[in-house]
Amino acid sequence: MVGVKEINSIYNKIFKTYPQVEIKEHIKKLIEFDFFYPYNATFFCITNTANQSFEYVSKNFSACTGLSPEELKNGGMNYFWSLFHPNVVKPWLTCLESLMSFTMNELDDEQRKRMSYTWNYRIKNAKGKYISIIQNTTPLQFDKEQKPIIGLAHYTVLNGDINMDVCASAKYLNDKNEYETLFYKNISSDNLLQVISNRERDIIRLLLRSKTSLEISKTLNISKHTVDTHRRNILKKLNLNSTYELINYFKSNLSLI
């Protein structure tokens, strides 16, 4: 079993950077908005990978987990990692390593500023029960080497009984303000959804927003014919008969795309 000290060591290697970080005004403004957000099954944090700390923890952390936001902020990431289910630690670290390698080796400086990253894991709540977390992080600040160090992390809390493979994805916000999938990996297993391409994931997300093939073609800068071909291929790969079945399937499996 991987302990917190070992997690800390690996995490430091992944996010090795300069420790000097300044929390800028636009980040402080995000924190101000938290007062107005209703309680629900999501919370957000301002993460600092340089110091393995949380610059801010939203009030909904308590509503979602029963745990104290102050304890999370004071304990930092070491405390958060201590809550992880032991079975997800290694695949989760693999997610981080894969995403950081992709970010630093496959993207240019401008692309890194328009990325959003998603992965999932399980943590123990205040009642001692494990809950599933889907984390989506958008970088806000970068170090001298353009490595992301400050991020806005949004966490969606699901019932711990939901059996989820540990997956990682990286999406790029294009010039039409639509996210395109540039990286996806199922860390836990090579299940059926591995056969879905990154472009097909983008099309599925737009179908879930009730977009037509023509609208999708304009958003993704591809022909309507190409969109329709992708739609047929998706149905065939997943053994589904209609777009209606496809939408219902992914509405129950949003984290998979």
Does residue 102 surpass a pLDDT of 60?
yes
What is the rounded CA–CA span in Å between residue 184 and residue 180?
Answer: 11
Does residue 190 surpass a pLDDT of 70?
no
User: Which residues make Cβ contacts (< 8 Å) with residue 192, sequence separation at least 6?
Assistant: 237, 238
Pairing of strands 42-48, 148-158: antiparallel
CA angle 181, 227, 175 (to 5 degrees): 45
With cut-offs at 50, 70 and 90, classify the pLDDT of residue 130.
very high
Residue 98 CB neighbour total at 10 angstroms:
17
Output phi, psi for 224, to 5 deg. Answer: -60, -35
pLDDT at position 197? 87
Domain locations in the chain? 4-188, 190-257
With cut-offs at 50, 70 and 90, classify the pLDDT of residue 215.
very high
- Where helices occur in the chain by DSSP H, the ranges are 4-14, 25-33, 60-65, 69-82, 89-106, 109-112, 198-208, 213-220, 224-238, 243-251
The CATH number assigned to the domain with range 190-257 reads 1.10.10.10
pLDDT tens digits, one per residue of 220-238: 989 999 999 999 999 988 8
What is the rounded CA–CA span in Å between residue 20 and residue 143?
Answer: 9
With cut-offs at 50, 70 and 90, classify the pLDDT of residue 256.
low
Q: Is the pTM of this model over 0.85?
A: no
% of the chain beyond a pLDDT of 90: 42
pLDDT at position 22? 57
What is the rounded CA–CA span in Å between residue 230 and residue 147?
Answer: 34
pLDDT tens digits, one per residue of 10-41: 888 877 775 655 555 555 655 555 554 555 68
Cα dist from 243 to 177, 206, 233, 254, whole Å: 24, 12, 12, 15
Lowest mean pLDDT among 35-39, 44-48, 137-141, 238-242: 35-39
What is the rounded CA–CA span in Å between residue 78 and residue 129?
Answer: 19
Which amino acid is residue 129, in one-letter code?
A: K
Between 27 and 219, residue with greater pLDDT: 219
Does residue 203 surpass a pLDDT of 80?
yes
Measure the N-to-C terminal CA separation of the chain; round to a whole number of Å.
29
User: Which residues make Cβ contacts (< 8 Å) with residue 8, sequence separation at least 6?
Assistant: 52, 77, 78, 81
pLDDT at position 39? 53
Query: Average pLDDT of 69-82?
Result: 95
pLDDT at position 15? 76
CATH of 4-188, one of 3.30.360.10, 3.40.50.970, 3.40.640.10, 3.30.450.20: 3.30.450.20
With cut-offs at 50, 70 and 90, classify the pLDDT of residue 174.
confident
